């Protein structure tokens, strides 16, 4: 007999989530940290940077930023446009990203699940992972409706304003969640965004009780999202799975049905990769 999907949000007991989110500070090398900070500035939203802007963003002198970028260029992690003199990500970064996708095993396993979930809900379904105090979208299956939310693979989003992020926060302890919010802040992206810790703490308690997180136009106007977390202590990670769509197709009365679809799909992900460790 199959078990019915549990409504309880998986808790991250045993996870060293501080190490997952930020890494250990014990043996950091300042120059390496600054170089990686420069590299982290590049994203899908901001793929090109000038030397001045990078130096300002990393809070280092232009001469220091220039020397660090020269080192990154040597390893082909960044490139400089010969005409504009602006910097962009190099092909070595793509190689590293592909290495993660191929070797983690996670993305390959979730893609079929996301596809089936998209077909069941009709909405865009995403898979997010906690990374540097944000949720990064590592896989998605976009809705076939002409009007649909984007897959946004490779983008980063705040935890407090997205259902993917709030599902991850709810899988952590309140102390861990509050620590992350203290570092990142809680900017209001819409008038519905929860932007203070006390109401967020109450929201996380409600998520744990009902088993899923909601984004009711908290990150983007007109967009609603439902998400469920998956915690894997053996991999020291917390991930989440969501369905998102326009408000008109996701009224209040449809949300529990969508949540049940996600919870059912997540049951198959709760042990992702564990067969390899058996």
Give me the DSSP letters along the chain. Answer: -PPPPP-SPPP-TT--HHHHHT---TT--HHHHHHHHHHHT--SSS-EE-HHHHHHHHT--HHHHHHHHHHHHHTTSEEE-TTT--EEE-HHHHHHHHHHHHHH-HHHHHHHHHHHHHHHHSSEEEEEEEETTEEEEEEEE--SSSS-----TT-EE-STTSHHHHHHHHHS-HHHHHHHHHHH----SSTT---SHHHHHHHHHHHHHHT-EEEESSSSTTEEEEEEEEEEGGGTEEEEEEEEEEGGGS-GGGHHHHHHHHHHHHHTTTTTTGGGG-
pLDDT in tens, 23-36: 445 566 788 888 88
> Which pLDDT does position 66 carry in this prediction?
93
pLDDT in tens, 210-242: 999 999 999 999 999 999 998 654 455 688 999
- pLDDT of residue 20 exceeding 90, the answer is no
CATH code of the domain in which 239 resides: 3.30.450.40
Residue 43's pLDDT band (boundaries 50, 70, 90)?
A: confident
Final residue before a domain boundary, out of 96, 115, 135: 96
Residues 160 and 227 in one domain: yes
Final residue before a domain boundary, out of 96, 117, 146: 96
Final residue before a domain boundary, out of 68, 96, 124: 96
Residues 181 and 220 in one domain: yes
- pLDDT of residue 12 exceeding 80, the answer is no
Q: What is the mean pLDDT of the chain?
A: 85
* Residue 51 in domain: yes
What's the pTM? 0.74
Residues 44 and 167 in one domain: no
> Which pLDDT does position 179 carry in this prediction?
95
Q: Which of 55-59, 77-81, 212-216 has the highest mean pLDDT?
A: 212-216
Domain containing residue 62? 21-96
> Which pLDDT does position 278 carry in this prediction?
44
pLDDT in tens, 145-155: 999 999 888 88
> Which pLDDT does position 52 carry in this prediction?
93
pLDDT in tens, 255-271: 999 999 999 988 876 55
């Amino acid at each position: 007999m199959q078990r019915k999907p549990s409504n309880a949000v998986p808790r991250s007991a045993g996870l060293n989530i501080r190490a997952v989110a930020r890494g250990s500070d014990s043996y950091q090398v300042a120059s390496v940290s600054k170089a990686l900070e420069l590299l982290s500035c590049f994203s899908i939203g901001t793929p090109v940077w000038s030397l001045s802007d990078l130096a300002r963003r990393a809070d280092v002198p232009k001469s220091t930023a220039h020397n660090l970028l020269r080192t990154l260029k040597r390893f082909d992690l960044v490139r400089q446009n010969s005409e504009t003199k602006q910097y962009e990500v190099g092909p070595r970064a793509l190689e590293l990203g592909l290495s993660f996708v191929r070797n983690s095993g996670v993305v390959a396993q979730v893609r079929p699940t996301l596809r089936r979930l998209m077909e069941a809900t009709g909405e865009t379904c995403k898979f997010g992972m906690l990374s540097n105090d944000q949720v990064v979208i590592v896989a998605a299956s976009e809705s076939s409706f002409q009007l649909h939310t984007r897959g946004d693979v490779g983008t980063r989003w705040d935890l407090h304003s997205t259902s993917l992020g709030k599902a991850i926060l709810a899988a952590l302890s309140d102390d861990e969640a509050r620590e992350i919010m203290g570092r990142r802040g809680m900017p209001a992206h819409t008038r519905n965004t929860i932007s203070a810790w006390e109401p967020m703490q109450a929201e996380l308690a409600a998520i744990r009780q009902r088993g899923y997180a909601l984004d009711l136009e908290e990150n983007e106007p007109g967009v609603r999202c439902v998400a469920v977390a998956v915690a894997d202590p053996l991999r020291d990670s917390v991930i989440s799975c969501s369905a998102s769509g326009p408000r008109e197709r996701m009224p209040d009365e449809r949300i529990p049905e969508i949540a049940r679809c996600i919870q059912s799909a997540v049951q198959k992900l709760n042990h992702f990769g564990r067969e390899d460790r058996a």
